[in-house]
C-alpha cells in the first residue's frame, strides 16, 4: 500500500480575524479554542488511504448508523506544537505518537496509517494554523483521531474510516496553576484496564469507562482518579489520563511497568532524562498499601503524574475511602521540579536536545 498521499489544500475563505484570535489566545484554557483548519484522510477497504485534505474546520456529516456511534471503534493521539524564539514551530517526539497510533489501531482492528502520512498531516495543520500557537507557556495541542465510519450495525471491524487532525490553542491544563500539587482519589470500585484488554491503546472507550471513577474523585474533592490493577486491586496503575512516578528518600524513582497502562511518551522521556542524570529508576509494581506506608514513614518523598497535556504534575494528597495521606509537605517537590524543567526546556528549545526529540515544522 502507498505510504505517500498528496494533500489538497483548501484554505479557509474567511479565517478568524487577528483581533478576535488574539482575544481567544489571551486566556485559552484547555480544549475550548480551536484553530481554523483540519486535516482529513479517508480509508476504505477498496481504496486504502485516500482523499487527504487540509480544509476549513467544520462539522462532519455522519450517518446515524456509522459504526463508531454504536461500537466505539475509535482511537486518538495528543501532542503539542511549540513556538520557538526565532518564530518557528516544533513538535516533541511526534514519531512516537505516529507509532503509538499504529499500535492503538492494531488493537482496535483498524488500518494502520503510515507514520510518514501521520507526520505530514500534523505538519500541514501546524503550518496553515501557525498563528494559533500561543506565546509564552501556551502551545497548540494537536489532536489526531480516527473512527469507524461504515454505515452498518453489524459487529465487525469497519470497512471505512475517517482520520482527522484538529488543533486547540491551550494554556495550563489544571485550573489551579502549573506547579500546584493535585489531590487524587484511589478508586476501589472501578478499574481502568484488565490484562488482555485495551489499557495500552489510546482509545476513546477507555476514557468513557473512566468517567464514573473521575466523577467519584470529584465528589470526594479530588482533582484526579488513580486506578489499581483489575486482577488483584492492589498495584497502582495510572491516573485517568496520566502515568505516575514515585520518588524515594534514597534518590531513586519507581514507575509502574508497561502492560495494561498507556505507554506515555512523557513517561518514556522522564525515564530517559532521569537515567541521563544518573537517577536510579525502576519500572516495577508498587502497591497502594506500600504507597501509604512509605508516605507515612517518609521513605516516599514525592509523587507526580505525567502526560503531554499537563507535563509533570505533583501529587500532594492521596484520598481513599478509609482515609487520606499527604506526600512530603503536600506541595511540589525538588525532583519533580527539576525533571519538569529539564523536559520543558528541551520541548521549548531552551536546552540542547541530545536524544533528537525535537521535530522542526518550520
Ligand X SMILES: *Cc1c(COP(=O)(O)O)cnc(C)c1O
Which residues form the interface with ligand X (CB under 6 A)? 78, 202, 238, 241-243, 262, 264-267, 307-308
Distances (CA, A) of 351 to 55, 127, 293, 343, 357: 35, 24, 38, 9, 12
User: Would you say 42 or 143 has its CB closer to ligand X?
Assistant: 143
Angle subtended at Cα 18 by Cα 14 and Cα 20, rounded to the nearest 5 degrees: 90
Find the shortest distance in angstroms from Cβ 203 to ligand X.
9
Find the shortest distance in angstroms from Cβ 263 to ligand X.
8
User: Would you say 308 or 336 has its CB closer to ligand X?
Assistant: 308
Candidates 80, 83, 202, 340; catalytic one: 202
Q: At what angle do helices 94-107 and 265-276 cross, to 10 degrees?
A: 130
User: Would you say 121 or 209 has its CB closer to ligand X?
Assistant: 209
Find the shortest distance in angstroms from Cβ 86 to ligand X.
26
Assess contact for 214 and 225: CB atoms under 8 A: yes
What phi and psi, each to the nearest 5 degrees, are found at residue 255? -140, 145
What is the DSSP secondary structure assignment for residue 130, as one 8-state letter?
A: G
Distances (CA, A) of 154 to 29, 46, 68, 158: 40, 19, 12, 9
User: Would you say 36 or 237 has its CB closer to ligand X?
Assistant: 237
Question: What CA–CA distance (Å, rounded) separates 135 from 21?
Answer: 13
Find the shortest distance in angstroms from Cβ 57 to ligand X.
23
Question: What CA–CA distance (Å, rounded) separates 360 from 87?
Answer: 11
Locate the DSSP E strands across the chain. Answer: 8-9, 33-34, 37-44, 48-56, 74-76, 79-83, 89-92, 139-148, 160-170, 182-186, 224-228, 236-239, 243-248, 253-255, 281-283, 300-307, 311-320, 323-326, 358-360
Angle subtended at Cα 272 by Cα 266 and Cα 276, rounded to the nearest 5 degrees: 140
Question: What CA–CA distance (Å, rounded) separates 303 from 253?
Answer: 9
Find the shortest distance in angstroms from Cβ 217 to ligand X.
15
User: Would you say 261 or 320 has its CB closer to ligand X?
Assistant: 261
112 is catalytic: no
User: Would you say 5 or 75 has its CB closer to ligand X?
Assistant: 75
Question: What CA–CA distance (Å, rounded) separates 270 from 283?
Answer: 12
Find the shortest distance in angstroms from Cβ 331 to ligand X.
23
Catalytic residues: 202
Amino acid at each position: 500500500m502507498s505510504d505517500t498521499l498528496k494533500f489538497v489544500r483548501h484554505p479557509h475563505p474567511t479565517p478568524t480575524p487577528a483581533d478576535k484570535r488574539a482575544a481567544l489566545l489571551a486566556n485559552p484554557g484547555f480544549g475550548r479554542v480551536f484553530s481554523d483548519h483540519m486535516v482529513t484522510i479517508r480509508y476504505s477497504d477498496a481504496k486504502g488511504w485516500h482523499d487527504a485534505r487540509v480544509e476549513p474546520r467544520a462539522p462532519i456529516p455522519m450517518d446515524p448508523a456509522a459504526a463508531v456511534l454504536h461500537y466505539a471503534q475509535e482511537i486518538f493521539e495528543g501532542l503539542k506544537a511549540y513556538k520557538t524564539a526565532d518564530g518557528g514551530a516544533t513538535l516533541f517526539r511526534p514519531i512516537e505518537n505516529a507509532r503509538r497510533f499504529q499500535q492503538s489501531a492494531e488493537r482496535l482492528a483498524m488500518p494502520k496509517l503510515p507514520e510518514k502520512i501521520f507526520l505530514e498531516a500534523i505538519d500541514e495543520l501546524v503550518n496553515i494554523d501557525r498563528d494559533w500557537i500561543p506565546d509564552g507557556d501556551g502551545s497548540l495541542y494537536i489532536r489526531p483521531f480516527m473512527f469507524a465510519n461504515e454505515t452498518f450495525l453489524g459487529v465487525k471491524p469497519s470497512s471505512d474510516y475517517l482520520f482527522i487532525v484538529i488543533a486547540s490553542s491551550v494554556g495550563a491544563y489544571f485550573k489551579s496553576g502549573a506547579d500546584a500539587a493535585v489531590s487524587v482519589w484511589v478508586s476501589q470500585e472501578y478499574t481502568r484496564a484488565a490484562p488482555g484488554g485495551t489499557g495500552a491503546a489510546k482509545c476513546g472507550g477507555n476514557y468513557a469507562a473512566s468517567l464514573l471513577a473521575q466523577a467519584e474523585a470529584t465528589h470526594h474533592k479530588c482533582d484526579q482518579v488513580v486506578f489499581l490493577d483489575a486482577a488483584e486491586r492492589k498495584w497502582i496503575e495510572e491516573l485517568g489520563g496520566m502515568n505516575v512516578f514515585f520518588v524515594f528518600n534514597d534518590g531513586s524513582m519507581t514507575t509502574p511497568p508497561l502492560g495494561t497502562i498507556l505507554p506515555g511518551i512523557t513517561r518514556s522521556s522522564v525515564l530517559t532524562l532521569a537515567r541521563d542524570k544518573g537517577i536510579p529508576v525502576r519500572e516495577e509494581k508498587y502497591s497502594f498499601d506500600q504507597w501509604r506506608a512509605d508516605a507515612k514513614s517518609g521513605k516516599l518523598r514525592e509523587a507526580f503524574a505525567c502526560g503531554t497535556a499537563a507535563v509533570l504534575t505533583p501529587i500532594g494528597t492521596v484520598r481513599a475511602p478509609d482515609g487520606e495521606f499527604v506526600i512530603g509537605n503536600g506541595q511540589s517537590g525538588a525532583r519533580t521540579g527539576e525533571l519538569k524543567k529539564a523536559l520543558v526546556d528541551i520541548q521549548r528549545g531552551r536546552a540542547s536536545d541530545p536524544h533528537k526529540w525535537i521535530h522542526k515544522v518550520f
